[in-house]
Amino acid sequence: MKKLRKSFLFDQDFCIGCKACEVACQTYHKQEPEINWRKVDEYEVTENNKLKSVFLTHSCNHCENPICAEVCPAEAYTVREDGIVELDRDKCIGCGYCAQNCEYDAITMVGKESKAQKCNMCTERLDIGELPACVRACPMAVLSIIETDLADRAGMEKEVVGFEANSYVPSTRFYPKFVTGMKRKEFSIKI
């Protein structure tokens, strides 16, 4: 049986920009201080004639057509059956082609080894039925994991403020602008 393709699902309407997801990722993966596989950016938008801050948490989008895998001469990237794009750092030669070509700035070459690093959606946790560190840490429950096809059937968005989809087909999905009566938890899947 084919595994369900997994995606991050983010609700921009209710994110408070606390960066708990960013800190949890950095702490869980014991990253050097200057390395963040997950980042939270702030954008100002005008809504009802008022200036308002909105936030976007982002990491690797585990694209359906990952450019990182396409350009890597060492074949250090693989796409799992569930759609998660994994990096084998032992194969990485540190050329940086993946980081240069990723339009989402999801890959970093910073660090002692000068090798590529990126979000792996905490596969070691998902594989034993646990949530990724970033999802688990969010106090507002605006970040979750969902099956991509389910998100698409449910009308989840592929773009929000600060994020545009491209030809690499990023798997990250977003709740539509707040709709009265919509319940976030209805769309989460058990892993």
- In this predicted model, what pLDDT tens digit does every residue of 157-176 receive, in sequence order? 999 999 999 999 999 999 99
Structural domain containing residue 31: 6-187
What's the rounded Cα separation, in Å, for the pair 72 and 92? 8
- H or E element in which residue 134 lies: helix 133-137
Least confident interval from 26-30, 45-49, 128-132, 152-156: 45-49
Strands 85-87 and 77-79: antiparallel
Q: Kindly report the CATH number assigned to the domain that includes residue 143.
A: 3.30.70.20
32, 20 contact by CB (below 8 A): no
Per the domain annotation, does 129 fall within a domain?
yes
Global pTM reads: 0.90
Rounded Cα–Cα distance for residues 94 and 71 (Å):
13
* Tokens found for residue 172: 């990250």
Average pLDDT across the chain, whole number: 92
Interval 61-75 mean pLDDT: 97
Q: Evaluate whether residue 1 is within a structural domain.
A: no
Q: How many Å apart are CA 9 and CA 24, to the nearest integer? A: 17
Using the structure block, give the residue that is written with the tokens 């809504």. 47
pLDDT of 173-188, one tens digit each?
Answer: 999 976 555 555 555 5
Q: Which residues pair with 14 in a beta bridge?
A: none
Percent of the chain with pLDDT over 90: 85
The total number of structural domains that make up the chain: 1
Q: What is the pLDDT of residue 28?
A: 97
Q: What is the pLDDT of residue 191?
A: 46
State yes or no: pLDDT of 189 exceeds 70.
no
